């Protein structure tokens, strides 16, 4: 028989009955990684799209600054509001379904108990053990309702705070989206746009790579692979923006 190495002492200490009980008693920490990645990537892509489109169309540098700044504020706020409302809708759906299940338990408790029985039967329990599980779950109203929410409806009991999700999206959008715009802000409007555009490309590429690398730190993936993946996808969107601007430049005025 293959022997596994002994687990580290730190891992063992975290799996004592007391440590397990304390950890599970705490409310799970809510992650806003999705909101950060969502805002940062879109901020970099859309702002660089403005930069690349304007340069591709050979328009003045001042146009880049005006349109880029307007994009940062308007699109960033729009994304934040959308994320706020979407997260709030997720919470409202959870509350609505909770009220439905509480009403069903009050009106037809036997039918709801049968649903609990079927949920755990599909998990592989049967006989006396299944009946004991049904009795335990239906004896605790909160546990009963939450079991229906997760196993029947497939909902998550903890959701992000809408205000925090929206704020994280906005901040990530503005901070990451500002990078492709910086070279044109610090360069006189009348100057040649090619040099700041080259710097903007480098900063946008750096932003894409760093966003992927930061994401990898939370999800346990290779940082350079995650960075290259984000760089490739974001760079593709930027290339499309530049090509569109160059194509529009050739159209008759």
SS (H, E, C) 222-248: CHHHHHHHHHHHHHHHHHHHHHHHHHH
Identify whether the C-beta of residue 239 lies closer than 8 Å to the C-beta of residue 55.
no
pLDDT at 164: 94
* Residues near 221 by beta carbon (within 8 Å), at least 6 away in sequence: 215
| Angle, vertex CA 155, rays to CA 152 and CA 30, nearest 5 | 150
pLDDT at 125: 97
pLDDT at 190: 53
pLDDT at 247: 79
SS (H, E, C) 145-207: HHHHHHHHCCCCCCCCCHHHHHHHHHHHHHHHHHHHHHHHHCCCCCCCCHHHHHHHHHHHHHH
pLDDT in tens, the chain (253 residues): 456 676 777 777 777 788 777 776 776 677 888 899 889 988 988 898 888 888 877 888 888 899 999 999 999 999 999 999 999 999 999 999 999 999 999 999 999 999 999 999 999 999 999 999 999 999 999 999 999 999 999 999 988 999 999 999 999 999 999 999 999 988 755 556 788 888 999 999 999 899 888 888 877 788 888 889 888 887 887 788 778 777 776 666 5
pLDDT at 1: 46
Identify whether the C-beta of residue 232 lies closer than 8 Å to the C-beta of residue 249.
no
pTM for the complete prediction? Answer: 0.80
List the structure tokens of 33.
Answer: 């990684």
pLDDT at 3: 60
């Amino acid at each position: 028989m293959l022997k596994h190495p002994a687990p580290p002492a730190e891992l063992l200490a975290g799996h004592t009955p007391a440590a397990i009980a304390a950890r599970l008693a705490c409310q799970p920490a809510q992650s806003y990684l999705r909101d950060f990645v969502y805002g940062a990537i879109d901020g970099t892509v859309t702002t660089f799209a403005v930069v690349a489109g304007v340069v591709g169309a050979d328009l003045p540098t001042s146009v880049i600054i005006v349109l880029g700044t307007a994009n940062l504020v308007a699109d960033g706020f729009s994304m934040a509001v959308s994320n706020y409302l979407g997260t709030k809708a997720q919470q409202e759906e959870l509350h609505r379904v909770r009220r439905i299940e509480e009403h069903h338990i009050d009106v037809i408790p036997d039918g709801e108990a049968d649903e609990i029985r079927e949920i755990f039967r599909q998990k592989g329990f049967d006989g006396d053990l299944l009946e004991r599980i049904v009795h335990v779950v239906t004896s605790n109203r909160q546990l009963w309702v939450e079991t229906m929410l997760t196993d029947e409806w497939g909902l998550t009991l903890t959701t992000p705070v809408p205000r925090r999700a929206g704020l994280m999206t906005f901040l990530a959008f503005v901070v990451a989206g500002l990078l492709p715009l910086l070279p044109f802000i610090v360069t006189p409007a009348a100057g040649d746009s090619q040099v700041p555009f080259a710097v903007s490309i480098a900063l946008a590429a750096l932003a894409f790579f760093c966003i992927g690398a930061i994401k990898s730190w939370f999800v346990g993936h290779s940082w350079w692979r995650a960075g290259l993946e984000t760089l490739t996808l974001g760079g593709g969107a930027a290339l499309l923006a530049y090509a569109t601007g160059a194509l529009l430049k050739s159209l008759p005025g």
